[in-house]
Amino acid sequence: MKGAARPRPAEGDAPRPARVPRAARAARLVAAELGRRVWLYVWPSATGRRNRAYLRERLVALPLLAVVAFGALGWAYTDVRDDSAYVRDRLAPALVGLANAKASLFIAQGEAEENLAEGRTGELSGLSERYRTRVARATQSLNQVTRSGALTVAEEQELRVVSALVVDYTGWIGRAQGHAADSVLRDAELTYARSMLCSTPVAAAHRQDRYPPCSPTVGSAATSIVDRVSGLERQLRERLADRAAWGGAVLGAAVVAGLGVVLLAAGLWRTVFFLRRRFRIRLSIPLAAAALPLLAVPLLTTDALLAWHAQKEAVPVADALAQQTSPQTETIAEERPFDGPDPQAIEVLEARIDDGLSSGRLAFLDGAAPFVFPAGLVSAALAGGVLHAYRREYLVVARPGAVS
């Protein structure tokens, strides 16, 4: 019926979808208008513009672009460089030290078991030189990790616990040496020492193996020396992977810096062209000096990419240090040094990670990161100062009625 009222939608019915496209269209129009206004402000055309108005807009836009571009570039570049230095000087040495400590303790355990298996002869002759050397190396490696600066306060406390357990462990090896003639006491004390080293029980079939496998325990049950060292390795590797990955803030700063640098370079070029055409100034020396910091941008970008690539390549090497090294490899490398370097030896992996991180940068740019933003401020001051001087001179010279 013509005059009949339309039925009302029932309660709980979904709203009509027509409003959503309308709101989206309005939002797009507002964003487009804002973008157009920003673009006109940053990138004004000189055609049909008064000299005074164009100089006033350039006086604000160019210094602002210089500050934003070099501020974002300096922050992103400093972050990448700091990450690279942190990985090279702290994380990598700490991972190498933990791997050395773990391998040395396993080798010391194997030496102790082999020496004391001789019974009274082992009691009289004592433990081998390799045992003492490896225990000393493990202790020294743990001390180096503590001094590396890569650990948090909680991790340093955990490492102190590990060092105390190592001292207790060597004490039980000494007791086993004192009871070398008593096979029951000796084996019990060696078994307890090994349980301090590795929480996973050793099967009887593996007792003939000089270095039985040890699977580290995780969680609250991780109490042995290897458990704790493996936990620290895992935390440091996660930190390394986090440092090697591009963060959202760094990516955002890089995008802002890239856009700002492009707009600043083009803006300076158009301003120089404007001054040459309108004011007959062939070359503005201050504006050319303001553009000089832009020449360093490709070098800084290349250096940042090299540093990021080196950090990324260090991640699998750090994983190999924690998971692929073994006491067998270290013993063979020590006994047969003329066989050539083993790719899974700690020394070889340490050299790989050090060489990669050291070569992953332009060395002559060391120490340049703190000067990136000040260079942008100098560029902004030069551009603003010279444009202010040109504008003031133009206003003084221009007479009433003259074409401006």
Q: How far is CA 221 from the centre of its chain?
A: 31
Mean pLDDT on 159-168: 94
Give the span between the Cα atoms of 290 and 111, in whole angstroms: 68
Residue 216 · residue 226 · CB < 8 Å: yes
Binning pLDDT at 50, 70 and 90, where does residue 222 land? low
- Band the pLDDT of 54: cuts 50, 70, 90: confident
Residue 401 has pLDDT above 80, yes or no: no
Contact 240, 140 (CB under 8 A): no
The pLDDT of residue 1 is 44
Helix (H, G, I), strand (E, B) or coil at 341: coil
DSSP symbols for 91-102? IHHHHHHHHHHH
Residue 382 near residue 289, CB atoms below 8 Å: yes
Mean pLDDT of the chain: 83
Q: Rounded to the nearest 5°, which phi and psi values hold at 359?
A: -85, -10
pLDDT tops 90 at residue 116: no
9: left (phi over 0), alpha (psi -120 to 50) or beta: beta
Beta carbons within 10 angstroms of residue 120's beta carbon: 10
Q: What is the mean pLDDT of residues 158-172?
A: 93
Residue that wins the pLDDT comparison between 376 and 204: 376
Mean pLDDT of 35-64: 72
390: left (phi over 0), alpha (psi -120 to 50) or beta: alpha
Does the structure show a pLDDT above 50 at 206?
no
Average pLDDT of the residues in 47-54: 68
Mean pLDDT of 244-267: 91
Tell me what pLDDT residue 223 has: 79
Across the range 104-110, mean pLDDT stands at 92
Under 8 Å CB-to-CB from 330, ≥6 apart: which residues?
Answer: 103, 104, 107, 345, 346
Average pLDDT over residues 56-64: 86
Torsion of CA 11, 13, 14, 15, to 10 degrees: -60
Confidence of residue 52 (pLDDT cuts 50, 70, 90): confident
| pLDDT 10s digits, 311-321 | 999 999 999 99
DSSP 224: S
Residue ranges per domain, the chain? Answer: 50-395
pLDDT of 403 higher than 80: no
* pLDDT one-digit tens code per residue, 287-319: 899 999 999 999 999 999 999 999 999 999 999
Place of tokens 């700002």: 260
Pick from 87, 129, 84, 107: nearest CA to 346: 107
